[in-house]
Structure 1
Amino acid sequence: MSTDMSYTTEEIAKLLKISKLTVYDLIKKGELTSYRVGKQMRVDASELEAYKQRARMVPAADSYVPLHPQASGSAGPTGSVVITGHDIGLDILAKYMEKKIPGIRPLRSFVGSLDSLISMYKGEADIVSTHLLDGDTGEYNIPYIRKILVGSSYIVVNLLIRNAGLYVQRGNPHGLTTWADLGRSGLRLVNREKGSGARVLLEEQLRIHGIKPGQLAGYGNEQTNHLGVAAQIASGEADVGVGIEKTASIVGQIEFIPLTQERYDLVMLKTPGNQLWIPSLLQILQSDSFKKELQAISGYDLSRTGEILFET
């Protein structure tokens, strides 16, 4: 292994046969030293080899290095903070955190809403973004958070509200206008991956309208982000998919049918270490400068940005 080589977090995950979230957890706990190249985190080959040598010598239960300052005697927040989710608003938030909260290094993990909450339950994420609709109550996020983070102390804060609905081909040749229209025969769907907010939104709407997933051709055709869904429709490979307005404006060769406003929230555990930076994060979310930057992006409603929605 050349000492001049370096690896992305995805490559490290494949080499060690672990999840990318576990790689972030190793970085966060100080077991792997990383550095930033643009928006990408990288780990040198020599650092990876050193970690593997330590792992052979030290039992796994004893291998963790304390992150939080109360364990190390530091006076302020320090270490890496893993932020999960896909929305570009999270990238802007990470940039503000890096500038405004000394000692904090934000790391981005691009996973869906349900997997994000599960990773938080496992201690692998610090700030989780979620947009999960509970079809029975019409409520976003809180019902899922309460079920998954049982026994945890946490705070839920709104990041933004955005339009969600259907992507269709230009001219809307199938005349789709409602969720119930998905029950028509002959439609080719492009879906999101299991656990994503868009997938949960689709499944809840199908359940509410009595449409069986097996009725939809392409239900198993999965993409891992909104751009992938939009691209398949733009190329004619599919007729319809679920996504958000912003991505439709980026692709430009499709049309967007708005059907709901989804609340995109942030969840943070109220651990002693996290509470050193949570007040600063709330200040960022409520600041005029942060909101002004988000306002430049189409399709966002910032009327509740920074509002504490639920707290245990």
Structure 2
Amino acid sequence: MSSDISYTTEEIAKLLKISKLTVYDLIKKGELPSYRVGKQMRVDASDLEAYKQRAKTAAAPEPRAEAVQPPRSYPASSPSAGRPIVITGHDIGLDILAKHMESHVPGVRPLRSFVGSLDSLISMYRGESDIVSTHLLDGDSGEYNLPYIRALLVGSSYVVVNLLTRNAGFYVRKGNPFKLEQWSDLSLQGLRLVNREKGSGARVLLDEQLRLHGIRPERLNGYDHIQTNHLGVATKVASGEADVGVGIEKAASIVGQIDFVPLIRERYDLVMLKTPDNEAWIRSVLHILRSDAFKRELQAISGYDLTRTGEILFET
């Protein structure tokens, strides 16, 4: 029955051929009823169908993604609704940030979008997100994030602030039977890899290391064996379906039954566009990131270095 079916905002955007920003606006204005399941917004199929019928009756053409032009403004709304602030990325630190924003930043309503680092920056360029997280290594310079941010956000005014630093490396089977200790070991015969999706920070890290070490991706057994998050990669190694995957230390400790080989310290940063509409809540977010309460929650999670948390790394 259609009453048992619900859709995510991403699925609604694809079905209506509009941007996620437009979906959020429809939800905010009350034209598309929604509810939250965990950190995700969902819309019942019956409510989607009712919206489509109203749109047809009004003879109003459905908005298309290319009609959405950043920067954007939002009409006044009740304090309980608030302006939607879209936060992208997978790390649990972002969920903690969203919770603090919900409690301490009036007039905004944080919404989580679980997409990879490169896709997050592209969504910001398109005007579809407000706070994006990124951990993208530039292999030639050894620098994290800023080379990609400068290239993708050309002409934009933004601020880059550190959220945390964490270990990235190999997930390997217990006892590390292949004795994997460095990136060049990925060329060993018989090794089965499990990979991340294109656009994720872990996939960029792997591809950059393969390029730097002269290893052709097509030589790797399992290069096209894709998982969409760190836990998925770690689980495939734990189950014996793969011998190695690239990810962060935290996921290894959650999954267990595997070993972790640290290879690099990666900087996990946030990017926020600077516009007159955003200035007030950006100040509030910076205050949260630097607060003792926020850092205490992050410190409870093993594997995080908070030395630079809340530090502005670059500002246009």
2:166 is matched by which residue type in structure 1?
A: R
1:279 is matched by which residue type in structure 2?
A: R
The residue aligned with 1:51 is: 51
Show CA shifts across 1:54-110 (max 9, x none): 54422437899x9735x64999x9411111000000000000000001121111111
The residue aligned with 1:120 is: 124
Aligned pair count reads 309
Query: Is 2:79 aligned against 1:68?
Result: no
SS of the equivalent of 1:95 reads helix
Choose 196-205 or 98-107, whichever is displaced more. 98-107
Sequence identity percentage: 76
Show CA shifts across 1:135-175 (max 9, x none): 00010000000111110111111000010000000000000
Counterparts of 2:238 and 2:19 in 1: how far apart (Å)? 32
Distance 1:187 1:90, change over 3 A: same
Counterparts of 1:63 and 1:243 in 2: how far apart (Å)? 35
Distance 1:261 1:63, change over 3 A: closer
SS of the equivalent of 2:259 reads strand
Query: Is 2:44 aligned against 1:39?
Result: no
The residue aligned with 2:16 is: 16
Query: Is 2:104 aligned against 1:100?
Result: yes
Counterparts of 2:21 and 2:210 in 1: how far apart (Å)? 31
Counterparts of 1:301 and 1:231 in 2: how far apart (Å)? 24
Report the alpha carbon displacement of residue 186 of structure 1 after superposing the two structures with TM. 1.2
State how 1:70-219 maps to structure 2 within 5 Å. 72=76, 78-219=82-223
Alpha-carbon RMSD: 2.7
Report the alpha carbon displacement of residue 46 of structure 1 after superposing the two structures with TM. 5.1
The residue aligned with 2:242 is: 238
TM-score with structure 1 setting the length: 0.90
Q: Is the 8 A contact 1:163 1:258 kept in 2?
A: yes
The residue aligned with 1:301 is: 305
Choose 20-29 or 81-90, whichever is displaced more. 20-29
Distance 1:285 1:29, change over 3 A: farther
Distance 1:129 1:39, change over 3 A: same
The residue aligned with 1:260 is: 264
Structure 1: which 5+ residue stretches go unaligned?
A: none
